[in-house]
């Protein structure tokens, strides 16, 4: 079972933007975001798609915690670069449910006990069946990516 978001990322409201982590599969994490009334960054019932960079960064943070072990505990990371960022939309609408996916692309050096540069590929899609009946695996992406990005994180 995947722990609550509060146990996976250091962010707290109002900057905790992920609603929950849906899946973790070794080199990939998927999380859910609900664009909610009263939420951070909401302006005229919309959130700029640029905020998607923070959604992706928080999913990467959850990845590091889930990939940690007793021998290799999670360390704080810093987002240091975003070599590519493409938006197919300008904004996300109020009440939109988004599927945030980050894939581990590379890690240099590969030894986990040393400082490292970790690269992720990430996408944001509209979310269909968001965890219906308490089953997060039922959540699926709708259509092409709304946002695509590459992230570089220093540990």
Count other C-beta atoms under 10 Å from residue 6's C-beta.
Answer: 12
**CATH number for position 130:** 3.10.129.10
How far is residue 69 from each of residues 6, 106, 149, measured CA to CA in Å?
18, 19, 28
Q: Model's pTM, two decimal places?
A: 0.92
Could you tell me which residues are beta bridge partners of residue 28? Answer: 103
Q: What average pLDDT does the structure give for the chain?
A: 91
- What would the pLDDT profile of 71-121 be if each residue is shown by its tens digit? 777 888 899 999 999 999 999 999 999 999 999 999 998 776 678 899 999
**CA nearest neighbour of 102 among 147, 70, 47, 72:** 147
- What would the pLDDT profile of 144-154 be if each residue is shown by its tens digit? 999 999 999 99
What is the DSSP code (8-state) at residue 35? -
Domain that holds residue 93: 5-154
> What is the tally of structural domains in the chain?
1
Whether residue 134 is predicted with pLDDT greater than 70 in this model: the reply is: no
Q: Give the span between the Cα atoms of 132 and 134, in whole angstroms.
A: 5
């Amino acid at each position: 079972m995947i722990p609550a978001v509060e146990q996976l990322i250091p962010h707290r409201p109002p900057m905790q933007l992920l609603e929950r982590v849906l899946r973790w599969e070794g080199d990939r994490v998927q999380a859910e975001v609900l664009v909610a009334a009263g939420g951070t960054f909401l302006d005229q019932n919309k959130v700029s798609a640029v905020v998607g960079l923070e959604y992706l960064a928080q999913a990467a943070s959850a990845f590091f915690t889930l990939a940690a072990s007793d021998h290799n505990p999670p360390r704080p990371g810093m987002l240091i670069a975003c070599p590519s960022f493409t938006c197919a939309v300008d904004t996300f609408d109020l009440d939109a449910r988004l599927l945030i996916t980050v894939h581990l692309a590379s890690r240099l050096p590969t030894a986990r006990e040393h400082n490292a540069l970790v690269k992720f590929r990430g996408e944001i899609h509209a979310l269909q069946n968001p965890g219906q009946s308490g089953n997060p695996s039922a959540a699926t992406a709708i259509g092409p990516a709304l946002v695509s990005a590459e992230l570089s994180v220093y540990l």
